[in-house]
Structure formats: structure tokens, C-alpha cells
Structure 1
Amino acid sequence: MVLADVIKRWQQIKGKEAFLCTGTDEHGMKIQRAALKHGMEPKEFCDGNSNKFRELVAAANISNDFFIRTTDQEHKDAVAQFWLHLKHSTPESLGLYKGSHEGWYCVSDECFYPEDLVRPSIAPQTGKKIMVSTETDNEVEWIKEETWFFPLTKYKDALLKLYDENPGWIKPAHRMAEAREWIENHLEDLSVTRPASRLNWGVSDPEDKTQTIYVWVDALINYITKAGYGSKWHTAKDDMGIWPANLQVIGKDILRFHTIYWPALLMALGLPVAKGYLCHNHWTMSNRKMSKSLGNVVNPFFAIQRWGIDPLRYFLMRNATFHKDMSYSNQLIGTVYMKELQANIGNLFYRIAKPKSSVRWSTLEAVTAFRNGELNAWAEKHDKDCFDAVFFSLESHLSESPEAFCKEMDDYDTSAAIRVVFELLRETNRYVSDTKPWDLVKNQDPDSRVLLNWVIFNSAEALRIAGILLQPIMPTKASELLDALGVRPDRRTLEFAAKGKDADYGTESKPVEPAPRMSKWDTIFPPTASADLSDDELLEHLRVALLDKTRNKMNQMAELLAMEARMGEEAVAKLLAETHAAKVGA
């Protein structure tokens, strides 16, 4: 979901119109059984889950334009229409047919598996012998029933032709090879209904109430429901609005449904397929598969509260890879937060845009000097080979980084793109250390002032460019950075992400007004408490520290500020009140 949002926002800062659709699939045997287990009606059960997902979408700052539930009447109407077209409007022998089906069915995966993709296993909870899918290790059961079929095997040649003519249709390439191998070696006609006697939680066949439409046929149609299928358009001859999608972002476990079943179903109705697929891997917990039985499932709401959504988005996109499953751990997030966000971005921002009150420079003065031509005139007068080369050492990074970032983002490699920005800011921090603007500012010579503004301008440009490029990944923090630099909202698109493209920003440095109490750290990335501690452990740790009269007061203050940044001012105030009461009572 975050990856899809990042891609959408990336298209927007490139100046393109972009839409993002997400939502919840709510039908099927798995939902029906889960609701029964909880003693709830399926719709009531789905309402609760959908509301939680909506809350997560908001908490993760997902800029979705549509949120669809497959229980929405609009969607069920679209499914019914699609179904009737499959039955009656497809070429002879390419539409639905009735038949008997038996095979290994997995409720968890909501699909049948061929004989060569199941194996014997032992249920860990009971020790009972079971059969499981070789793909997911989920239990399968043998089922025999009368259903409607979609003749998927008749679309084999059309699917292979689609793959041949669009070699980059599925990314990464090994996922496309995986899907192709399935088409070539495992393709079977698809059972697309379930007897209503076994599954009644779903969309019924409008002409045969004894059959419930297969959950994956139902779910896949959601992509065209929000594009207007069934309400605004009905065939490929109509204006299909935002369909076909430029990109569908999917997990590796649902590759087959989206890249084999879905295009074949669309072909049957003469509708265009999506223009591309991006298939991502799964997150593990410290390199172990997340499992409720192991107790290592991450609660996303807790993670957002702990780290803040933008640092969490940064970590997820930084560590994302399409080649293997990815490892999630608080230690990793803590390291990235301190070394890259605080020490790299935050440090550079403070050095350049928030200098000490005793240091007299400003980004506004530096940008003004550039706009007036003073900096270019100075650069033309000084030969890079003769003058101290360190003052020109940032030029190549400023000129090359935006293009390199664009290349990686256009290839959906957010990790490589983030590395480009990280290197730019790291080199800029080194540049500041090497050029020593705090020494230049002490020299009253006019040329030294121009040289100072040259250094500050180059450094501010690195921050400004990085802020623009990081907007899709950290929309709030990037906005804070650009606001603090005085960058106008209409100059935050990709066309301005190059040195010298914006000569009308900057802020004047002002001495910090003394305050009776610092309510929060005045920085983009405030300190955080130890990643090794849970919130409860952190509270207990600080409670003990505050009651320890021998403990250094400055250390206590730093820990309290870190806690406030992480858990909020109320939690700190409550803790202080409790420890004060404990001291008085003692």
C-alpha cells in the first residue's frame, strides 16, 4: 500500500495526473468461516475489518482516491454484469460452461491446486496428517462439486502472446518468468463458482442462486468497478475513463490471480488488460516469517506511533527489494533513523538553515546572491583547477543526483533512489565540513562573503532538491523541510529539482527566543528512545531513572524529550506527575 502511494505521488510531482485505488476484498469461504468462528454475521465481521483498514490507510498517509469494498452494492452490480457477459457474450467455446470439479482446495488461499503442487505434511498444532500447498504451506482439502467453469486453457496462446509482446509487463523479470511457467505447465480450466450450500457469503449467480461466484473473480473486478464499469461504461467501445490501469501493485502470493486469471477474463470480454504489474515480496520479522503463533506480527498502528509515519515509510522504501523477502526490526529502523534521518538530513538542515544565533548567514541571503548573479560571476572568475577544488566538489553531485533518482524511481526501485539522495546529502555534509562556513563568516573581506554565500547556496540547493525528491516517500517531513527553506508550494515539482531552477526561496536566520521550557525538539527528526525497549519497558526505565537521585539530570532530560517525541507530551506529563508523587510520598 505504501509502495503504491509512493508511486502515485511520484507521478504527481512529475506533473502527471494519477489515481490510486485500494480497498478490502470481503467475500469468500475464509471470511465466512472467520465470521462464524467469532460468532458474527459475515457483514458485521467485514465492517469491523474494513474500518480498521480505512484507519490504517489514513494513519499511513495513503493518498488514495478510491476505497472500494467488494460488499458495496455498486461492485456487486458490476460483478453480476461481468458474469452475465461471460456467460452470454463471449465467442462460442470461450465462455462459461457447467461441469463437475474435484481437486485440492485451499480455504486460506481461496483457490484449487493441481496434484503436483500439493504435498503431505503434519499440522503443528495437532500432529494430524494433512495435505498442504507447496507454494504457501497452507492446508488443502479434497472437494468434489458441480460448478461453472471458465475455459482458461483456451486462452493459453493469447496469454503467451501477451507475455511475448510485452516483455516488461510484469516486474521484476523473475516474477514474469514464474507466471509464464505456470501458463506453460500448470494451466487448467478454472472453477469459477462454489455451491451456495457450501459458500453463501459472496455474489450469487444472477441466473442460478445455487451457485456463488468465485471470490477471486469477484475481487478482481473491483479494479474496473471504480473505473466506471457497469455504471458509466459496459464495453471497450465506450469511454473507459481511467481503465486500463498503468500499473497494478501486487504481492507475490497473488501473482497468478492477477497476471493469468485476470487478463484472461478481460480478454474474454474484449476489454484491455492493465498496462503493467509490479510484484513485491513480503516482510519478515528479523528474517523469520511473521506468524500469530510465534507472536512476531507487527501491529502497524503501534509501529506508526513509535516511529512516526514518515520515518517508517522511509525505512520500508529504503529496505524494499524485489529479489527476496525483507526483514523488519526495530533495531534496523532505529539505526536508519539515527544515521540517515537525524545525522544526515536533520544534521545538514540544522547546519545550513538553522545555524547558531552567533553565526551570521542565511539561505535567503545566499539565494539572493545567486539570483543577482554574484555567485555565477564569482565562479566564472575562479578556475576550478587553480582555486581550492573543495569549493567545487559538490557540483557533480548536484547535477547528477536528480537524473539518477528519476531513473531508479521510474524503474520502481525506491531503495536505490533513496541511496541517491542519501549520497547527495552525505556529500553535502562533507562539503560543509571541508569548506568551514563558520570560519568564512568571520572574515570581513567582501570576497569571503561571496564565497560563504556560494557554500550556503550549494548546500541549500542539496537540501531543496532532496526535499522535492523525497516528497513521495516522506510527504510530511519533506514538506516541513521545504517549508523551513521557504520553498513555494508551486515550486516543488520535479522540474524544479535541479540546481538553480528556483532562485526565489530562503529564510533569514533569527536568534532562537529563550523559552521557559522546550515543549518539543525544534528539529525535523527528534531523538527517539532505545529501539530495544517496548513502550511499557520505556516507561518503567524512565520511572526508575527519575527516582534515581544520583542520575545525571541532563541524561534524564534527553530521555524525556526522546520519550515525548515518541509517545506524546501527555505521557511525559503523566510520568513526571507520578514520579513527583512517589518522591513526595517517600
Structure 2
Amino acid sequence: MVLTDVLKRWQQLNGNPAFFTTGTDEHGMKIQRAAAKEGMPPKEFCDNNSRKFRELATAANISHDFFIRTTDADHKSAVEQFWMHLKNTPPEGLGLYKGAHEGWYCVSDECFYAEDEVQATVIPQTGRKTMAAIESGSEVEWVKEETWFFPLSKYKDKLLRFYDENPDWIKPRHRMNEVRNWVENHLEDLSITRPASRLNWGIPDPEDSSNTIYVWVDALISYATKAGFASDWQVSSADKGLWPADVHVIGKDIVRFHAVYWPALLMAVGLPLPKKLICHNHWTMSNRKMSKSLGNVVNPLFALQRWDVDPLRYFLMRNGSFSKDMGYSNDVIMTVYEKELQANIGNLFQRISRVKGGKWSTLEAVQWAQKGFDMAHIESAPNATDYMSLEPHLENAPKEFRDQMDDVDLSGAIREIFQLLSQANRFISDTEPWTLVRDKSPETQMRLNWIIYHSADALRIAGILLQPIMPSKAAELLDGLGVKPERRTIEFAEKGKDLDFGVAPQLTTNRARDRAMAQWESLFPPVPGVELLDEEAVTEHSASAPSKSKNRLDRVSEILAQQARRD
């Protein structure tokens, strides 16, 4: 949900209309059995679980436009219409047909597996021998039943041709190789009903209530439901509104359903295919897949309470990966929080906006920039190269960030912001504006405000670009810099693009009580109940001379500045 939310907000930041649907898939054997185990009707069971996901979306500041439940009445209508098209619209031999099916069925994955896709295994908790899907590790059972079939095997050539014509349709590209291999070697006709006698928790065939429509057909159609299918437009409509989707965001365990079944079903009824699939990997705990039975599941609501919403969003996007599973650990989050949020972003903001005695201000610095800096005075400074050292980073970082975001490389985009602000912290350390405040000569004051303005500009650019990832913290940062709301769009995220921001001096004192209170009022305050890590672990530092500062964040910031100098 966070990944999709960031992609939606990124499009909006670029001035593009964007709509985001999420929700809960509520039908199927797995739900039916789980409800029975809890001793309650399936709908009541789903009501409880759906409410939890909706609450989680709210807690994580997910800006969804639609929260669909596959038990919704409009979705049932969409599935029924789609189903009738599958039966009646395709050319001869490409529509549904009746037959008998038997094979290994996985309730938790809600799909059949071929003989070479299952293996004998032992459940570690009980020692019971069983058969399990090799792909997911979930238990399978042998099932034989009368069913309606979708002739998936006859769509093989069409699917392969589509993949050839759209080689970047799936991100990452290695998932496309997996999909092609499956289509070339494992494609079979798809059983798309279950006997109502065995599965009654689902949408029935509108012409034969003794059959229940396969849960994945039901679930996949939800994308079209909220794009207006069967309510605002039909298969034959020229104007299909929001359809097709620009992107589906999915987990690696359901790529087959979205990259094989779904496009074939859309081809069958004559609807356009989604333009892209983004397939993310899984979070693990101690290098093992999170599992309730193993007791290594992270409660996301507890995590949001511990780390706050935006820092957790930042971590998930920073450490998320399309190439491998990702490790979730409080120690790793603490490292990112202290190094990148407190010491890099927060400390830079403190250094330029909350200054003891009001020695400078971002407002005054921007006013100097409005008048224009006399480059002769800047270039004649004793350490002129230090004064000019931030310029290339201000020029390049916004473009690099945009390129990474457009390529859906969230981690790479965040890395660009980290590098920009690391260089800005290094820039302040090297130019030492605090040594210039007593000299009131115009030349020295110009140099002082050159330093503050360019540091503030780095923060301003970073704040604009971070809005999709950390909406609330980015807004707090931009408010603290005095950036007007209408100047927070992508066109202003460039060096020197805004000369109408800044705030008056924000005074602080040296009193210990005030300093103690200030840390809790900072952009990224301490995290209660979380033990700080060794500084070397936080900064991955081993060779630099230790800082003399008594303040831990100042020491971490200085180490980051030393790393930035080497970079």
C-alpha cells in the first residue's frame, strides 16, 4: 500500500491526475475455512478483517481513492457481466467449456499446481508428512471435480507475442523471464469454478448457482470494477474512463495470476491490458519469511506507533527491493532513523533555521539571493572552492531523483536525497558560517548568506521531492522553511527556482533545559524505548578522527560530513 501510495503521490506532484484502488479480497476456500474455524459467518469474519486493513491504510496515511471489498454489490455485478462475456464473447474454442479436473490444490494460495510443482515435505511444528507447493511452501491436497474451464493453453501464442512486444511490462525484468518460462512450459487450461457443495463462499455462476466462480477470477476483476466496468462503461464502450490501469503493484507470490491469467482473461473479453506490473519482494524476519506459525510477524500498527508514520514509510521505501527479499529489524530501522533522518535531514534543518542568538535566518539569506550575489566576493573568499562545492549537487540531484522515481527505483531516489543533504551538511561544516557572523562587512555578510541560502535551497528541494514518501514530515520541513503551498510542485524542485521563501530568526538558548526540550520538538525526535546503537554501527565509520562534540547527533553528522568529503 505504501509503495502504491508513493507512486500515486509522485504522479500528482508532477501535475498528473492519479487514482489509487486497494482493498480486501474476501472470497474463497481459505476464507470459508478460516471463518468456520472461528465459528462465525464468512461475511462477519470478512467485515472484521476488512475493517483492520482499512484502519491500517488510514494509520499509514494511504491516499487511496477506492477501498474495494469483493463482497461489494457493484463488484458482484461486474464479475457477473465479465463472466457472461467469457462464456459468450470469445471466438469458437476460446471461451469457457465444461469438463472434469483433478490435481493438487492449495487452499492458502487458491490455485492448482502441476505434478512437478509439488513435493513431499514435513511440517516442522507437528512432524506430519504432507505435500506442498514448491513455489510457496503451502500445503496442497488432491481434488477431483466437475468444473468450467478457461482455455488458457490456447492463449499461449497471444501471451508470448504480448511479452515480446512489451519487454518492460513487468518490473523487475527477471520476473518476465519467470513468466515466459511458465507460459512456455507449464501452461494448462484453467479450472475457473468450484462446486458450490464444496465452496459456497463466493460469487455464483449467474446461470448455474451450483458452481462458484474461482476466487482469482473474481479478485482480478476488482481492478475493472473500480475503473467503472459494468456501471459506467461496458466492453463495447468507446470511452472506458480510467481503464486500463497504468500500473498494478503486486507481491512476487502472485505474479502468475497478474501476468498470465489476467491478461489472457482480458484478451478473451476484448479489454485493454494494464500498462505495467510492478512486482515487489517480501519482508523477512531473521532471514525467514514472516509466518504466524513461526511467531515472527511484525504488527504494522505497533510499528507505526513505535517509529511514527513517515519514518516507517521512509524505511520501507529506502530498504525495499525488487531483486531480493528484505530484512526487517528494529536495529536496522534505528540506524536509518538516526543517520538519515535525525543526523542528516533534521540536523541540517536545525543548523540553518534554529540558531542560538538569531545570528542568521533563511529569510535574510533568501532576500540576499533576490538581490543577487556578487560572485567576485564569493570567488575571492579564502576557501572559495568550499563555497562553490555544493553547486553541482544542487544542479544534479533533482534530475537524478526524477529519473529514479520514473524508473520506480524508490531506494535509488532516496539515496539521491541522502547524498544531497550529506553534501549540504558537509558544506556548512567546511564553510563554518558561525565564524562569519561577527564581521558585519558587506562582503562577509554576503558570504554568510550565500552559505545559508544554498543550504536552505538543498533542504527546500529535498522537502518537495520527499513529499510522496513522507507527506507529513515533508510538509513540516517546508513549513519550517517558509515555502508557500503553491510552490511545492515538481517545477519548483530545482536549484534557485524559488526566491520567495524563508522565515525570520528562530532563537534558541544555551540553557540545558531548553536544549533537552528542543530535541523532542525537533523534526525527528528521539524514539522512546529504543536503545541507541554504537555510533560506528550507525555510520559504518572506522577511520575518521572522533568528533569532540558532546552531542551524539553532532558527532554522527560530522562523520557523515567526512564521508561526504571522500565521496
**TM-score (norm. length: structure 1):** 0.88
Contact 1:346 1:523 (8 Å CA) reproduced: yes
Match of 2:177 in 1: 177
2:405 to 402, 409, 428: 409
User: By how many angstroms is 1:292 displaced?
Assistant: 1.5
- Alpha-carbon separation, structure 1, partners of 2:495 and 2:221: 46
Q: Return the offset for 1:442.
A: 1.2
Residue 437 of structure 1 aligns with which residue? 433
Partner residue, 1:360: 359
The CA deviation at 1:114 is 0.7
Structure-to-structure mapping, 1:229-308, within 5 angstroms: 229-308=229-308
Aligned to 1:422: 418
Kindly indicate whether the alpha-carbon contact (under 8 Å) linking 1:359 and 1:438 is maintained by their aligned counterparts in 2: no
Q: How many Å separate the matches in 2 of 1:309 and 1:73?
A: 33
Alpha-carbon contact 2:98-2:148 (below 8 Å) kept: yes
The separation in 2 between residues aligned to 1:532 and 1:40, in whole angstroms, is 43
Alignment match, 1:48: 48
Counterparts of 1:392-403 in structure 2, within 5 Å, are: 392-403=388-399
Give SS of 2:289's match: coil
CA-CA distance at 1:408 after TM superposition: 0.8
Q: Describe the superposition over 1:165-220 as per-residue Cα deviations: whole angstroms up to 9, x where unpaired.
A: 00100000101111111100000000000000000000000001110000000000
Q: Give, in whole Å, the separation in 2 of the partners of 1:107 and 1:47.
A: 21
CA RMSD of superposed structures (Å): 1.9
C-alpha distance in structure 1 between counterparts of 2:190 and 2:355, whole Å: 66
CA contact (8 A) 1:359 1:441 kept: no
Alignment deviations for residues 225-262 of structure 1 (CA, whole Å, 9 cap, x no partner): 00110111111533111110111100000000001000
Task: Please name the residue that 1:487 is paired with.
Answer: 483
Q: In structure 2, what is the Cα distance between the partners aligned to 1:530 and 1:336?
A: 17
1:126 aligns to what SS in structure 2?
coil
The aligned counterpart of 1:342 is: 342
Tell me the CA shift for residue 311 of structure 1.
0.4
Task: State the alpha-carbon separation in 1 of the partners of residues 170 and 65 from structure 2.
Answer: 24
* Count, aligned residues: 531
Q: Which runs of 4+ in 1 moved over 4 A?
A: 380-387, 512-520
Report how far residue 368 of structure 1 moved: 1.1
- Please, which moves more after superposition, 524-533 or 211-220? 524-533
Show the counterpart of 2:370: 371
Cα distance in 2 between the residues matched to 1:182 and 1:489: 49
Corresponding residue of 2:556: none
Relative to structure 2, which stretch is displaced further, 456-465 or 381-390? 381-390
The whole-number CA distance in structure 1 between the counterparts of 2:113 and 2:152 is 14
2:25 corresponds in structure 1 to: 25
Q: SS in structure 2 opposite 1:138?
A: coil
* 1:486-533 alpha-carbon deviations (Å, 9 max, x no partner): 101111111101111111000001335999994982210001235359
Equivalences for residues 448-487 of structure 1 within 5 A:
448-487=444-483
On the 8 A contact 1:290/1:297 being kept in 2, the answer is yes
Give per-residue Cα distances to partners, 1:537-568, cap 9 Å, x unaligned: xxxxxxxxxxxxxxxxxx9xx9xxxxxxxxxx
Taking only the aligned residue pairs, the percentage that are identical comes to: 64
Distance 2:378 2:470 in 1: 38
Equivalent in the alignment of 1:322: 322
Q: Distance in 1 between matches of 2:166 and 2:36?
A: 44
Q: How far apart in 1 are the matches of 2:506 and 2:26? A: 55
Residue deviations 1:17-59, cap 9 Å, x none?
1111000000000000000000010000000000000000000
Worse-matched range after superposition: 251-260 or 81-90: 81-90
The 1:510–1:120 alpha-carbon spacing in structure 2 relative to 1, beyond 3 Å, is: closer
Counterpart amino acid of 1:522?
Answer: E
Instruction: Indicate yes or no: 2:53 matched with 1:57.
Output: no
User: For residues 134 and 285 of structure 1, what CA distance do their matches in structure 2 show?
Assistant: 21
Partners of 1:406 and 1:340 in 2: CA distance? 20
Q: Does the CA contact (< 8 Å) of 1:199 and 1:212 recur in 2?
A: yes
Letter in 1 for 2:465: L
Aligned-partner residue type, residue 310 of structure 2: D
What is the deviation of 1:385?
11
Q: Distance in 2 between matches of 1:248 and 1:328?
A: 24
**1:454 counterpart letter in structure 2:** W
8 Å Cα contact 1:384-1:392 kept in structure 2: no
Judge conservation of contact 1:405–1:418 (CA < 8 Å) in 2. Answer: yes
Deviation track 1:255-284 (CA, whole Å, cap 9, x = no partner) reads 000010000000001100000000000000
**CA–CA separation in structure 2 for the residues paired with 1:278 and 1:131:** 31
